[in-house]
Structure 1
Amino acid sequence: MSQSKQSIGAPLLEITNLKKHYPIYGGIFRRQIGSVKAVDNLTLTLQQGETVGLVGESGCGKSTAGRTILRLTDPTEGSIRFEGQDVTSIRGEKLRQLRQNMQMVFQDPFASLNPKMMVGHIVSEPIRNYNRIQEKALTEETLQLLERVGLPAEAYYKYPHEFSGGQRQRIGIARSLALKPKLIVADEPVSALDVSVQSQVLNLLQDLQDDFKLTYLFIAHDLSVVKHISNRIGVMYLGSLVEIAATDSMYRSPLHPYTQALISAIPVPDPLKRKERIVLQGDVPSPANPPTGCAFHPRCVHATAICREVRPQLHQAAPGHQVACHLYTT
């Protein structure tokens, strides 16, 4: 599976210091006593036409980040700019129009599809909601979308439960393409699929990117999957980016101790090429009570006094390679 070679143009999405905190209430009067910092100071830019992989272990905030970027949930702080327009606080019709250009492919292909609707109606619903179009033309366009994602015309009149997991994910992909968006946030789109089906869906996503000039934010926890589809990879830990770099650079020379541990855990079939696995000690801290300084310092063997006191900021440690770690500050 080859990485997409689509050319990269102007910035499409710019995320600056994005935060999403969920309040914690307690006591007799149900007052706010704290907050869960699901996303904390996320800064990320997506160039038009590229695929950025966002990885990290469960609970690191990557899915919340994706939903917040699409305004499926409102951000607590920060800025989201799409094609230069600040969309952080828009409402009503402006937000509705924005959704034509920003779509999502969900992790669970069954839960995200209405079981009472025929597949043809599921895929055509976005077109019907946004465009005045004759029924015949709508049906033809829907059939073309189904064909493009590898489903037969008969699928139009069937229901989601009649399909396999991989086919249901293809339905979800077809629905996300219905309005010809510019950005698709794919939230672990292959994690619920068999390995053999995963490669088919990944190949489909790459082909669609070339055909529809799409930009992907590809969220996953499997680094071996992200490697094959991403131009750049960002690693999240406890709500923040700790490292971002071009895919080749990230796998060849990971800088952050957390990234090094993740990459060392990727299975390697050739015994002669295996490297010693880095086993992290301790558990991931609670996002409701994150550590001071660097969030990773309680589990880091390289931690020093400054790591416990000062939070490191993303900075360029090598050309195109940014890391938030005091080991690389001068």
Structure 2
Amino acid sequence: MSAGVPLRQVLGWTLRKTTPQLFSRNGFGICHVPQLVCCRLSSSANKGTQQSLHNNQELSPLPRQPVTELSLQSLIDMGFTDIQAERVCDAVSNAMGKNAAEHALTALSALLLFGLDPETVLKVLKKCPELYRLKDSHFQERIANLRKLGLVEGSLQKVVSNYPQILAMTAKRVKSVVVFLREKCLFTGDQATSILRDTPSVVQEDLGQLEYKFQYIYFRMGVKQKEMVKSKLFRFSLEEVCCRHSFLERRGLYQTPDKKGQTLILNPKLSDILAVDRDTYLKDVAKATAEEYDVFRKLMAREEQEEELQEMDMEAGSGSDDDEEEEGGGKSGYMKRRKK
């Protein structure tokens, strides 16, 4: 490197290449320029370069304060390309709220420190722009909570990349869903963690619907927790689960196991029923045509409407005890409907 290269150019190149690693490891703080960078640069330069830099009176001292201004240059220094920096500025300018720029810097710094590359950070914020307004303390709390729930490095970054809305949920809410899976659905700790990793959207599901889906699979189909996790059950809607199972049952291809878990026929595995596309399901499992399945879905929808009307009539004629039960415990799931 020639002695005439300005310090500003050398330091600018160095920071641009290394900025994602310069965030404070004590928290998700905004980027600081460490004094160590200046010392190393000074000690590695030859005497001629040092003399040239010393004589250059136009150089300004290195900033020691946090970067609090959201600008194209500050984003480029954080590792974003010119085009990416423009996209961030446009997104922030469209975001409403007080201190939007300051919160945006916090979000960007936190996600970069978290281990996401700039392009992934942009995708995450596009999927969940609410994160632009998230406070630094909330980032730390929610990521720490996910680690406590069993998500390890690598899996944790993948979960946030695929479903960033999980960081918009409070730690209390996420934890309550995991506790629900363990206590109400009797999944083990590792199984609950696997569900959270494979289907993070489960944290937004209504707990009553979640319980109903579990009990339907457990009691109606006779499937245990281990197979539920393997099939990634909670990725599928309750309607899809019931429809595919009922179609097989009415065609004589599925039978509810007895109390000993035995059946007269060999039931297909839950993963073969759910974790395949519609054409594969119809061809390999149901042995039926698309027309037959469509007709069945329409008939099933009509039956469900009739059942709902009957339930409404029963509830209207029932006493206050049912109302109190509903208010106290909410919808208790499949078993409650089964008893009626």
Q: Shorter chain as normaliser: what TM range?
A: under 0.3
Looking at both structures, which has the greater relative contact order when contacts are Cα pairs under 8 Å and sequence separation is at least 6?
Answer: 1
- Decide which structure has the larger Cα Rg and report it: 2
Higher helix share: 2
